[in-house]
Structure 1
Amino acid sequence: MKHLVKGLWELLPLSVRRLVVHEVRALYSIWLWLLRRRHGIGPGEHAAGYTAPQTATMWAWVFISLVETVALAVIIPWPLVHAITLYTSLYGLVLMVGIQAACVTRPHVVGADGSLRLRFGALFDLRIPAGAVTRVRIDRRFPEGRMVQPRDDGSLELIVGSQTTLAVELAEPLTYVRPLGRRGTAHTIRFHADDPAALMEALTRRTPAGSGPAGSGLAKSGQAEPEPA
């Protein structure tokens, strides 16, 4: 039976398998959220939240969906249609809560060894090894595009609420996996953190000696002027 399930699972397209995994992780995140726990944060590591720009919008969508669910429950008279509509509406409502919960419980993480883990809920997870970052800077931008947006110049943007606040430059291009399984490489990554100065300081403090330009350690800079997105 186990082999049959595994075989059927592998027959599904990669994008479908990844969507299923994302949904399971999002639903599990609600449990973590209720317990006030966070995922993947060890002793001596710095956690950096990134949900502030999207929180109000997400809860507005949850409220609208709740109102819509109640309205449909009252309006639809046919039992079968009523049951199907109610189930799908409630599942969608729970899933939206799960997406927000996943973002809250899966923050960015600066490792004790100077590594950097960038995440967006259960949808995106990129580990940057210690010493791979050569420069970090506060770089506030308001780009257009998807949540995970590759750019023609070889950079990658992780956009939250139509903004990014930090940029890290890498010693060499790093491979990443997009939410539905497509791969790409980037030498610069722009992302959002609610407290960019604290993350930059934590990363700089933990970066091993001998990394960064000319072996001098991680270079950092303050506020940078936004460039055209």
Structure 2
Amino acid sequence: MRRVVRAAAYALLPAELVLVVCLAAGVRIPAAVVAGAEAAVVALMGAEALLYVRLRRRGAGHREAVRELVPEPVVRLVGHELRLMVSLVRWVARRPHGAGGAGARSFGHARDQAAYMYGFAFVCVVETVGMSYLLASWPVLHAVFLVLDVYTVLFVLGLHAASVTRPHVLDGDGLRVRQGAHVDLVVPLERIASVRYEPLFSHRKEEGVLNLAVASQTSVTIVLSEPVTAVRLLGAPYPVRLVRCHADDARGMVDALRRARTAPSPVPGPPG
């Protein structure tokens, strides 16, 4: 039954999108077709809800049940959008994510991208005003594009907010390198072979190399003795042996990493 519901979702959702675009463009569609499409969507949602309840009764957790019903790429994309919106709230509240542990040091990396992100957001605002004026005579199109344009502005600000509120974090267990709301990789200290300050402004795509550029630049290069597994935006695993990232205080991050790698082991207590 899960396969049937998923196949129906793949067929109905694109059809529903086409129907919405046609209605927004003023195409006349028979009322029976619109009613049938809406009834099919309601039936699909009901089947999804029924399967969700059955999976929960069988002991599956909330996330497990959702992943069984929805393809992982869709779940990850929706999760990414939600993290961007939450980042806006954290940005306003000045509450960084995952940087408050005891003994942890955080290293921001969003300063050098702020100017062009604000510029991009301003361009989106201007485009929103322009489209609102041009489509004033078409109320349906005006409403659709207004929602899309406002969401685009929030999306752009959310991208920057995610970078601001998700700094790199160094603690006793390892280094947590991040980029926006889509990259979050923990590198154990014992797997760091070397670290150096290395400003780079061009990056070739290489196997086993993770480039986390900010404003097209990286400044910290971390060479690993053993690979760690990063996860791409849509969920594909990616083994990494070298990480290039950026930090506002790149030299300070390199020095802190070197000290953490060479910190003396605790002295063992007397035998019992």
Kindly indicate whether the alpha-carbon contact (under 8 Å) linking 1:33 and 1:101 is maintained by their aligned counterparts in 2: yes
Counterpart of 2:107 (choices 41, 48, 52) is 48
Q: Report which stretch shifted further, 36-45 or 23-32.
A: 36-45
Q: Which residue number in structure 1 is paired with residue 21 of structure 2?
A: none
| Unmatched runs of 5 consecutive residues or more in structure 2 | 1-48, 54-61, 266-272
Deviation, 1:128, is 0.7
Within the candidate set 156, 169, 172, 2:210 is matched to: 156
After superposition, where does 1:145-224 map in structure 2 within 5 Å?
151-152=206-207, 154-207=208-261, 209=263
- Equivalent residue for 1:10? 68
Q: Does 1:35 align with 2:90?
A: no
Deviation of 1:2 after TM superposition, in Å, equals 8.2
CA distance in 1, matches of 2:50, 2:192: 42
Distance 1:8 1:195 in 2: 40
Is contact 2:52–2:69 with CA below 8 Å preserved after alignment?
A: no
Shift of 1:72: 1.1
CA distance in 1, matches of 2:120, 2:68: 34
CA RMSD of the aligned region, Å?
Answer: 2.1
- Contact 1:142–1:164 under 8 Å retained in 2: yes
CA distance in structure 1 between the aligned counterparts of 2:160 and 2:50, rounded to whole angstroms: 33
Query: What is the rounded CA distance, in whole Å, between the counterparts of 2:94 and 2:195 in structure 1?
Result: 30
1:81 aligns with 2:136: no
Partner in structure 2 of residue 227 of structure 1: none
Match in the other structure for 2:117: 58
Give the counterpart of 1:119 among 169, 178, 198.
Answer: 178
Q: Would you tell me which structure has more helix in proportion to its own residues?
A: 2
Instruction: Say if 2:150 is the partner of 1:95.
Output: no
What 5-or-longer segments of structure 1 have no aligned partner?
212-229
Cα shift at 1:116: 0.2
- The offset of 1:4, in angstroms, is 2.2
Runs of 4+ in 1 over 4 A off after TM superposition: 5-9, 208-211
Relative contact order (alpha carbons < 8 A, sep ≥ 6): 1 or 2 greater?
1
Q: Name which one, 1 or 2, has greater alpha-carbon Rg.
A: 2
Q: Number of aligned pairs?
A: 205
User: Identity of paired residues, percent?
Assistant: 39
Shift, 1:15, TM fit: 1.9
| TM-score for both structures, normalised by structure 1 | 0.82
Instruction: Normalising by structure 2, report the TM-score.
Output: 0.70
Report how far residue 57 of structure 1 moved. Answer: 1.3
Contact 1:131 1:208 in 2 (8 A): no
Q: Would the aligned equivalents of 1:39 and 1:106 in 2 still touch at CA under 8 Å?
A: yes
Higher strand proportion, which one? 1
